[in-house]
A and B are shown apart, each in its own frame.
Chain A
Amino acid sequence: MIANYGYKDGSGDYFIAIDTDRCDGCGACVPMCPSSVFMVMDEDPNDPMREEPVAVVADDQRKKIKYACAQCKPGGDRPPLPCVAACPVDAITHSW
């Protein structure tokens, strides 16, 4: 399942997609984010029948993701995103 967390408002589309088929809940992404956007849950809230833990975007970050991600996305040259680089199975993608 591709879980897209984030939002679209008048100023644009901001979504972080987690591929839960790839994600095994290892949690490598969690400490890498300076805004603590990610967390690992034992039960996937969107897939009640899943047995493995899974990474999700924290509920209190979901609606401010543009602002939470701002520090890793400066206007000029952008280094690789820490969360994307940390994931060993390439489960994370950003839409902007």
Chain B
Amino acid sequence: MAEEYWRWTESRWTNPDIDWKKGDIITGGVDVGSVSSQAVVFVDGELYCYGNTRTGSNSPDSAHKAMGLAMEDTGMSLTDLQYTVGTGYGRVNVPFGTRAITEIACHARGANFMYGPTVKTVLDMGGQDCKAIHCDPRGKVTNFLMNDKCAAGTGRGMEVFADLLQVPITQIGELSLQVEKEPPPVSSTCVVFAKSEASSLLREGWPKEKVIAAYCSAMAHRVVTLLERIGVEEDFAITGGIAKNVGVVGRIEKELGITALKPKIDTQIAGAVGAALFGDALVKKERKKG
């Protein structure tokens, strides 16, 4: 690929109000997904810093890279972490992790932190998976469903379209909203077939925004049917990379007739946040015993 339309910007953030050296419990959470990896550090139950990078071909390296990015310019190093929890597709490959916990549990915990105890339904649209989770006010999972078999409804599916239409993935959502009239959704759920369908539509003269609107519409519908399998109870929150795609999010909200809670923190770090919080809880548990 000459130009990389799928490429979104890697990012990091440090909380300016926290001096980690004065912290009591310092834990790390690392979420290594098949497309992106995130690492966060929590200090006494507060988010201290995070890093978000693209996963490379090697999971352990990706974990290091993500945590390295998170800790950049903070003066912190891996030895300062008292407990680190790994999660995601590559969770068993976090070399500096103390233990691994599944993405389902971590996402519920993470969403609970990011959106508050009123969140009952979490939709996570990741790079190669799509999860629907019900959680209680403490962020404990009461019902879940994960689809990581099929690219439809995942970031990879959207990347395929970004490449096809030669539009940077960060702009795709906005572009899809530029249609005057909402076109019918593409008829194929399967990304491979939807891509051929989109190619014919382009050949028929459909402008890019119309094609992308048709695809976002199909993706939103597909995700909604997945959600409806376990039901949607408010408050409803969306995490993951596609949560940043206004074209998909808007259409999901429209079809559900429910508005999702507005994110204040990068939606891609939910898994890592949950992981770090589990770490915090486990440190407290160990201290009580010992």
Q: Considering the chains assembled together, what is the distance between the CA atoms of A62 and B144 in angstroms?
A: 14
Q: Considering the chains assembled together, what is the distance between the CA atoms of A8 and B153 in angstroms?
A: 10
Is there contact, CB below 8 Å, between A10 and B144?
A: no
Is there contact, CB below 8 Å, between A2 and B229?
A: no
Is there contact, CB below 8 Å, between B145 and A10?
A: no
- Residues of chain A within 8 A (CB-CB) of B148 are 7, 63
Contact A46-B229, Cβ < 8 Å, known A7-B149, A10-B150, A10-B188: no
- Residues of chain A within 8 A (CB-CB) of B102 are 45-46
Question: Is B283 located at the chain interface by the 8 A CB criterion?
Answer: no
Q: Give the interface size class of chain A.
A: 20 to 34
Question: Is A95 located at the chain interface by the 8 A CB criterion?
Answer: yes
- Interface residue ranges of B214-256 to A (CB < 8 Å): 222, 225-226, 229-230
Q: Is the interface of B mostly helix, strand, loop or mixed?
A: mixed
- Residues of chain B within 8 A (CB-CB) of A47 are 105, 140-141
Question: Is B193 located at the chain interface by the 8 A CB criterion?
Answer: yes
Is there contact, CB below 8 Å, between A10 and B189?
A: yes
- A17 CB to closest chain B CB (Å) equals 9
Question: Is A91 located at the chain interface by the 8 A CB criterion?
Answer: no
Is there contact, CB below 8 Å, between B144 and A1?
A: yes
- Residues of chain B within 8 A (CB-CB) of A64 are 149
Question: Is A74 located at the chain interface by the 8 A CB criterion?
Answer: no
Q: Considering the chains assembled together, what is the distance between the CA atoms of A2 and B142 in angstroms?
A: 6
Give B residues with C-beta under 8 Å from A: 101-102, 104-105, 140-150, 152, 188-190, 193, 222, 225-226, 229-230, 278
Given A62-B149, A64-B149, 15 extra CB contacts under 8 A: A1-B142, A2-B144, A4-B146, A4-B229, A7-B147, A7-B148, A8-B150, A8-B222, A8-B225, A9-B149, A9-B190, A10-B190, A45-B102, A48-B278, A95-B229
